[in-house]
Amino acid sequence: KVICNHTGSNMLNGVVAAFVLGAGLNGHIKADYACIEVDEASTRYIFPQIKPDYMVMTNLFRDQLDRYGELATTKRLIQEGINKKRELKLLLNADDPLVASFEGRNKIYYGIQNVYYADESLKGKSDVEEAFNCPCGKPLEYEKKFFAQQGHYYCSCGFRRPEPKYKADVTIHREYSVIQIENESFTIPLVGLFNAYNALAAIALCKELEIKDINKHLSSFKVAFGRSEVKELNGKKTLIQLIKNPIGANEVLKTVDKDSNLLIIINDNYADGRDVSWLWDAEFEVINNNKNEIVVSGIRANDMALRLKYAGVEKIKIINDIEKAVEYIGKTADNNITILPTYTALLKLNRMRILKKCY
């Protein structure tokens, strides 16, 4: 039995609610594990209230700059939480120099050794062209770079990627990925290198906890809403992929089927982040040869249309109302549909009856 904040509500109130819902009518919690997602800025408030055994960290990317500021600020907020629990075991992504350099008494690393692509169109290019700085201030150099700042890095000062305890070779296919750790092979029904990193983090933790049948559970994994979720719209397969920051958007854009009918929905409510300047940092140029017109919707539909125009997209249709945009693409689509929404747009999609679950 596992307690989890399934809705993604990851601030203090949401974490409290997860434990309340996990308790019985008598208020006693009977569970084997609690697996809790925690907002970056909320660790310093949540950690004093619980006794976590492990903290798993995947990566740090620029996200909601109006809330967090730059990455150095985000890292400082997380480190404040870690400092409140010195006995905490940190399971860290060795390939991200920011994550690998967190301070703690008990650090365990996982990382990717090699990445292979079954289809070269999935590969894309590195998303961060500028040099990423070492903690000493010098630009990092890379033996391998997978995406953004993630890869095998080193600096003349001696700072370098730590040797992972759990290291994997990853093969990315069009509809699934394979993770090879020594003589064990794990298959996940998810696309994209970012999902392979998430799965590797989960596998590493399961191995730490000596949980068996990892592959069995990974192969039957069902996605959370909006994260590579497949639904049906007017009889057409519809893939929904959340986008909310430049690196995440870039990785999702690499997986977009160029023959699909594409709807992009951009909101700027508080939960999305008020600042949508990240649209100009994302590589929307990779979809400028999309076969069909691209429909844009949401509060900032015009901003998205302008960004696509500068990306070289020629066929753009603006429908500000989200429900009308979904109805339109459902009626006009001649093939599968891809929807890329921001967070509050995703919540609205989740309430729309026209989008049906696939079983």
Q: Report the catalytic residues.
A: 275
DSSP code of 101? T
d(CA 359, CA 332): 24
206 is written with which tokens? 């399961």
For residue 122, give the 3-state DSSP assignment. Answer: helix
Q: H/E element holding 140?
A: none
| 318 Cβ neighbours under 8 A, 6+ residues apart | 295, 296, 297, 301, 302, 305
Closest CA to 320 of 236, 264, 252: 264
Which tokens belong to 329? 């693409």
Q: Would you say 269 and 302 are in contact if contact means Cβ atoms under 8 Å apart?
A: no
Helices 343-350/322-332 angle, 10° precision: 70
User: b/e per residue, 182-204, with b = 16+ CB within 10 A?
Assistant: eeeebbbebbbbbbbbbbbbbbb
How many angstroms separate the first and last alpha carbons of the chain? 24
3-state SS class at 233? strand
